[in-house]
């Protein structure tokens, strides 16, 4: 094969590798999760965990959409309440497991939150976050008139 052919093969392999990276990192993060969370055993309320707003249609997260948020040049978009609650449930679940390195922990939390939004209903996520006391923790972190403390 000539040099130009190898260059095109290299470019194609690089593009495919970059395109597959979010999915591969998602699978790696899920592989690092020890045990799966279960939704709360409550009658689905259909309301957000920390408000009386009814749940309407939502779009489950996916690894590629989550990654694209980092490359969006516009102003940051408000994160959906379902996603915030899914991250809360994922963090609470991983807090009960042995602690690992920061990169592994963040990757596992993100992968588990994506998995939760894809496999649980909005009501299950809200009820589980409510059961885990997400509302009280969020209220403690809030600064009047400002963003949440971290």
* pLDDT, position 55: 61
* pLDDT, position 114: 96
What's the chain's length in residues? 150
* pLDDT, position 71: 86
Residue with the two structure tokens 């600064």:
143
Tokens of 34: 């020890």
72-84 burial, b if ≥16 CB within 10 A, otherwise e?
eeeeeeeeebbbb
Tokens of 106: 């963040």
* pLDDT, position 146: 43
Nearest-angstrom CA–CA distance, 24 and 38? 24
Radius of gyration of the chain (CA): 19
* pLDDT, position 147: 45
* pLDDT, position 54: 59
Residue with the two structure tokens 């996520």:
125
Nearest-angstrom CA–CA distance, 150 and 147? 9
Distant-in-sequence, close-in-space partners of 76: CB < 8 Å, separation ≥ 6:
none
Segments making up each domain of the chain, as ranges: 3-141
* pLDDT, position 81: 84
Per-residue pLDDT of the chain (150 residues; tens, 9 = 90+): 788 889 999 999 999 999 999 999 999 999 999 889 989 876 555 455 555 565 666 778 999 989 888 888 888 777 788 888 899 999 999 998 888 899 999 999 999 999 999 999 888 888 888 887 766 555 454 444 444 444
* pLDDT, position 41: 76
Beta strand segments in 16-121, E: none
């Amino acid at each position: 094969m000539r040099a130009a052919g190898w260059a095109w093969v290299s470019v194609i392999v690089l593009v495919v590798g970059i395109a597959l990276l979010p999915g591969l990192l998602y699978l790696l993060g899920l592989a690092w999760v020890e045990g799966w969370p279960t939704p709360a055993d409550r009658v689905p309320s259909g309301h957000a965990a920390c408000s009386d707003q009814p749940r309407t249609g939502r779009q489950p997260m996916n690894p590629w959409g989550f990654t694209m948020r980092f490359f969006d040049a516009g102003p940051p978009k408000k994160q959906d309440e379902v996603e915030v609650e899914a991250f809360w449930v994922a963090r609470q679940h991983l807090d009960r497991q042995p602690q690992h390195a920061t990169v592994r922990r963040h990757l596992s939390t993100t992968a588990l939150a994506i998995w939760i939004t894809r496999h649980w209903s909005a009501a299950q996520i809200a009820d589980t976050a409510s059961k885990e006391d997400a509302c009280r923790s969020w209220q403690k972190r809030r600064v009047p008139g400002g963003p949440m403390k971290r």
